[in-house]
Amino acid sequence: MSSITRRHLLQAGSGAGFLSALPLAAPLAHAQTRQETVRVLAEGAPNSRDPHGEGVSRESLGTFTNIYDRLINFDSVKLPSGIRRYDYGRFKGELAERFEVSDCGRVLTFHLRRDATFHDGAPVTAADVKWSLDRAVSLPASKRQLSTGSLTDPSQFTVVDAHTLRITLPRADRYTLPNLALTFASVLNAELVKKHATPQDPWGAQWVRNNAAGGGAYKVESWTPGQQIVYVRFDEWKSGPLPYVKRALFQTVPTPATRSAALQRGDADVALQLPPKDIDALSESKSVRVHSIPVTNSFRFIAFNTRSKPFDDVRVRQAVAWALPYTSLFRGASLGHGQPLFGAASATPSTSTFPQPYPYETQLQKARELLAQAGYANGFKTTFSYNVGDATIGEPAALLVQEALRRVGIEVTIEKVPGAQWGTLQTDRKLPFYIDSSSAWFNDPDYFFRIFFQGDWRWNFGAFDNAELGTLVEAARWETDKAKYDAAIRKAIQIVFREVPIVPLWLPSFDVALQPDLANFTYYIHGQVDFRPLTRG
């Protein structure tokens, strides 16, 4: 079969028990026609071409989407606004023209397209797919993610013949197919990468970070780090309908007003990461279209490094949670775009929905009392960091946090971190106190807890370790009885309410501004542009 729903796999599992502005007057130099090109302006920049690499920026996920194929991809649904959104529960073949899941849910068989090639003309074979998946479960970043779908060991991937690959699971897992649709499961040109591997770097990670090795719908024609990337369509692409867009320019333009003005003049087609005030202004314009999509599995948050002083003391974390200026942050930095995650009436959750509002609000006296109990009656000094590529929200938020914490004796120095260093500093636990946003690739609460509240990886933003939480989440991971699942999740929520390794602020909306004639924009949880489905008209 060519597609399968997540429900089908879940049923099988039950049976088995996510710069300076360049001149905007300079269009794509060699574009065939304006009609066949797309120009995207964003705040941040891609920093890697390795889909299995560490410390990649969010913008890199857009690069991976366009220059690599995966065995399968998420299907999409059309929203009332006219744009599309990925469908977490349905899948379609990409490199695999069809695939099957056994009745027990443990064996997945993928039949590859026989005419697919990499960008250098080499045929794509099951051996390339196996080598890529072997690489993905061996390198740290992709290994950690794919393990959430029981993809952990090269022995699970078997070449049946040149165009057939089999994956065997220890038990049916409802997260396997969703993981195979992520960029972490991208397929690389094995022989090309092997030429650049060394005994110290057997997977060629140093080379792939700066060189593409794919067979996706687009090739990288040029890459100016921190500034722009020019993509050109790969006309021999066979993993879907040949895209309409022949060339695409992704350009880093940090100033929001410049991105907005370029879009209104018609010099750009897509503007990402615009601040709420610009989105509100553009919503009144007749020359562009603005779309806002509620994102229930993304969240804006403030994080503590719970393994270093003073934030290893839960009383300090709770004190900061009581001191934060929630309403000012939500209205000042986000202009009310999104859904608040603060001010819950009770510390006992009534549902298992997550994220949900935390039982904290601005109460400075509670904050002072907790600081005194922790031995910081006179406050302390710390740094508060934000990603320069996230300055639209990060900068005003940092100033508001600095001002609010001064009232309880905490002296905050603001640190602006270059986007290219942000992921590495998070991974290495070198940010004691910071603001960020993130998204769970999958919508289930147990997955959210597994990603953001446990594990020795970047996405455990608070560096949190709680044995009781781990036990609850692991039980929910495989639970098929809804009542038992909900009970475990509610207990897990109570733990993070109390221990507060991170302080969620609000659920954001994904806002994008487009030229009116650009059709079939598809939203993915990473919020980057997939050039493949775009058309004009």
What is the CATH number for 360? Answer: 3.10.105.10
Instruction: Please indicate, yes or no, if residue 416 is contained in any of the structural domains.
Output: yes
The rounded distance, in Å, linking the Cα atoms of 275 and 509 is 11
- Whether residues 442 and 523 share a domain: the answer is no
Highest mean pLDDT among 205-214, 345-354, 443-452: 205-214
- Whether residues 17 and 38 share a domain: the answer is yes
pLDDT by residue (tens digit) across 377-401?
Answer: 999 999 999 999 888 899 999 999 9
pLDDT number for residue 6:
42
Question: In the structure, what pLDDT confidence band is assigned to residue 480 with cuts at 50, 70 and 90?
Answer: confident
Q: Contact 249/229 with Cβ under 8 angstroms?
A: yes
- Which residues, other chains included, contact 215 with Cβ-Cβ below 8 Å and sequence gap of 6+? 68, 69, 116, 117, 118, 119, 124, 187, 189, 234, 237, 239
Instruction: Please indicate, yes or no, if residue 116 is contained in any of the structural domains.
Output: yes
Cis peptide before 256 (omega within 30 of 0): no
pLDDT number for residue 460:
96
Percent of the chain with pLDDT strictly greater than 90: 82
Q: Where are the alpha helices (DSSP H) in 24-91?
A: 58-67
- Whether residues 377 and 458 share a domain: the answer is yes
Instruction: Please indicate, yes or no, if residue 167 is contained in any of the structural domains.
Output: yes
pLDDT number for residue 22:
39
- Whether residues 211 and 309 share a domain: the answer is no
Q: How many domains does the chain have?
A: 2
- Whether residues 340 and 238 share a domain: the answer is no
Name the percent of the chain in helix, strand, coil, to the closest 5.
Answer: 35, 25, 45
- Which CATH number do you get for residue 102? 3.40.190.10
- Which residues, other chains included, contact 300 with Cβ-Cβ below 8 Å and sequence gap of 6+? 334, 338, 393, 435, 436, 437, 504, 505, 506, 507, 508
pLDDT number for residue 13:
37
Q: Is the pLDDT of residue 371 over 90?
A: yes
Instruction: Please indicate, yes or no, if residue 95 is contained in any of the structural domains.
Output: yes
Task: For residue 520, give the DSSP letter.
Answer: -
Q: Is the pLDDT of residue 1 over 90?
A: no
Question: In the structure, what pLDDT confidence band is assigned to residue 33 with cuts at 50, 70 and 90?
Answer: low
The rounded distance, in Å, linking the Cα atoms of 526 and 270 is 15
Q: Is the pLDDT of residue 507 over 90?
A: yes
The rounded distance, in Å, linking the Cα atoms of 13 and 106 is 8
pLDDT number for residue 4:
47
Instruction: Please indicate, yes or no, if residue 288 is contained in any of the structural domains.
Output: no
Q: Is the pLDDT of residue 12 over 90?
A: no
pLDDT by residue (tens digit) across 186-234?
Answer: 999 999 999 999 999 999 999 999 999 999 999 999 999 999 999 999 9
Percent of the chain with pLDDT strictly greater than 70: 94
- pTM, 2 dp: 0.80
Q: Is the pLDDT of residue 3 over 50?
A: no
pLDDT by residue (tens digit) across 264-294?
Answer: 999 999 999 898 889 999 999 889 999 988 7
- Whether residues 210 and 328 share a domain: the answer is no
Average pLDDT, the chain: 92
- 416-434 b/e (C-beta count within 10 Å ≥ 16 → b): ebebbebbebbbebebbbb
- Whether residues 363 and 409 share a domain: the answer is yes
Least confident of 181-190, 229-238, 472-481: 472-481
- Whether residues 379 and 519 share a domain: the answer is no
Tokens of 443: 């919508």
3-state secondary structure of 381: strand
Cα separation of the two ends of the chain: 33
Nearest to 136 by CA among 145, 123, 127: 145
Instruction: Please indicate, yes or no, if residue 147 is contained in any of the structural domains.
Output: yes
The rounded distance, in Å, linking the Cα atoms of 396 and 430 is 22
- Whether residues 96 and 205 share a domain: the answer is yes
- Whether residues 93 and 124 share a domain: the answer is yes
Tokens of 263: 């879009």
Tokens of 77: 């649904």
pLDDT by residue (tens digit) across 60-111?
Answer: 999 999 999 999 999 999 998 889 999 988 999 999 999 999 999 999 999 9
User: In this structure, are strands 37-42 and 247-252 parallel, antiparallel, or unpaired?
Assistant: parallel
Residue 115 domain boundaries: 3-251+510-536
Instruction: Please indicate, yes or no, if residue 291 is contained in any of the structural domains.
Output: no
Question: In the structure, what pLDDT confidence band is assigned to residue 502 with cuts at 50, 70 and 90?
Answer: very high
Instruction: Please indicate, yes or no, if residue 230 is contained in any of the structural domains.
Output: yes
- Whether residues 516 and 443 share a domain: the answer is no
The rounded distance, in Å, linking the Cα atoms of 424 and 139 is 15
Integer CA distances (angstroms), 421 to 43, 135, 483, in order: 15, 24, 43
Q: Is the pLDDT of residue 54 over 80?
A: yes
- Whether residues 526 and 431 share a domain: the answer is no
